[in-house]
Amino acid sequence: MAAVITPIIGKPIIQADVMTSYVQKVNPAFNPEIARQFWIISSRYGLRGDIALCQSIHETNWFRFGGSVKPQQNNFAGIGATGGSNPGSSFVSVEVGVKAQIQHLYAYASKASLPAGEVVVDPRFSLVQRGIAPAWEDLAGRWAVPGYDRSKYVSLQTALAAGETYGQKIIRLYEAMAAAAPPNPGSNQPVLPIVVLDAGHGGTDPGAKGSGIVEKDSVLDLTLRTASVLRSRYAVDVRLTRSADVFVPLSDRATMANGWGAAYFVALHHNAAGGEGFESYVYPGTRSGPAGKNQDTVHASIMKALGPLGVKDRGKKEANFAVLRETNMPSVLLENLFVDNAIDAALLNNSDVRQKLAIAIAEGVATAMALTPDYPAGTPDYKIQAIEWLYTQGLLSDPIWRKQPDTPLPLWAEALIIQRLYTMLKS
């Protein structure tokens, strides 16, 4: 094994906007969301996501692809691809694709467990001998086989001595990116505020049941919808205590939020046991402080959406819930309707109502945290709603269009929308 020269483990140094600028000099169509996810996810794992992006540059020809792996697979490092007609793994989103790559690197570089609350999405995670490649230079012959040009070098060691292995080429790309960065690359990109969304229950803990609704599943769907709205509309780092049907202990949920340095913690639940309506909770004695002020804002936003539907306002309350007690930041727990009430359950079973509720939660959180909109100031609601519909339907994917809602789409983008719409109509 090569000497550890450039460790894979370590916080990213190059900021997402600098990564984006570097790639766009070669590929102007590069999606900035990819760089943002490399920064966010790798920071969570304590891994050099800025160098991981350079690995993707190497693997995808500057994110232009062209081989058996296609852009729509969100597979930025050839995971599972073996050449020829085998395209390898596909991932449902940019976020999941980046996370799979970060997890695969984490498996090579570390023997530690995944960060608390993280779920394995890398399909080849269990196939890696944990900790066998702690440095980027160690990936030749492991991630990439053979990891050097056999027509030029007789062995991996010869190529390593010449600086021409898989990992060394990645490091050279990183060095070029670092050299092109401004003197203080972090000055152009402020740290995003962190909001933690906590989907209650999960795994072996189903929560409340009624009217065909299982709380753990329903609140996870609501949480994912809320996260999507926040991420698409605001400059915010949204973290989830769970993003799948897994059990996460209450203390771990608080520990995650505290460790992330979150600015706000929002727990999403449903109610049961013979009532109706919506209510919210903060920790006892915090109603007069920031937690209470945030509660007022979020509660009002939700009731503005649910009130016209006949939902009862059960009030803003206090309770000694563990996630409210053990989190260090302002926090709120939302009891979103009763699963065992026929009227409430009918609303929860309505997808349109669930989306309205998710938007109301997101907008309340955004107002409480004074988040900066991703849309230009003054963009009318009807334009935002129309554009968000395109994203929701999967017809738009690049978040750049939110920043320029009045810019005409180029011909290639129009063609992509037509293709996607045609595929939807055929299915």
Where in the sequence numbering do the catalytic residues fall? 335
Q: Which two tokens stand for residue 421?
A: 């719409």
Q: Rounded to whole angstroms, how far apart are CA atoms 17 and 29?
A: 14
Q: Are 362 and 368 in contact (CB under 8 A)?
A: no
Nearest Cα to 118, choosing from 255, 262, 242, 247?
242
Q: Which two tokens stand for residue 416?
A: 């992509």
Q: Which amino acid type is present at position 374?
A: D
Q: Which two tokens stand for residue 190?
A: 């402020």
Taking the CB of residue 335, how many other CB atoms lie within 10 A of it? 22
Q: Is 285 exposed, middle or buried (0-12, 13-18, 19+ CB in 10 A)?
A: exposed
Q: Rounded to whole angstroms, how far apart are CA atoms 262 and 294?
A: 14
State how beta strands 209-210 and 213-214 pair: antiparallel
Q: Name the residue with tokens 């065992």.
A: 340
Q: Name the residue with tokens 């299915």.
A: 427
Q: Are 198 and 258 in contact (CB under 8 A)?
A: no
Q: Which amino acid type is present at position 297?
A: T
- Helix or strand or coil: residue 127? helix
- Helix or strand or coil: residue 316? strand
Q: Name the residue with tokens 């915090």.
A: 286
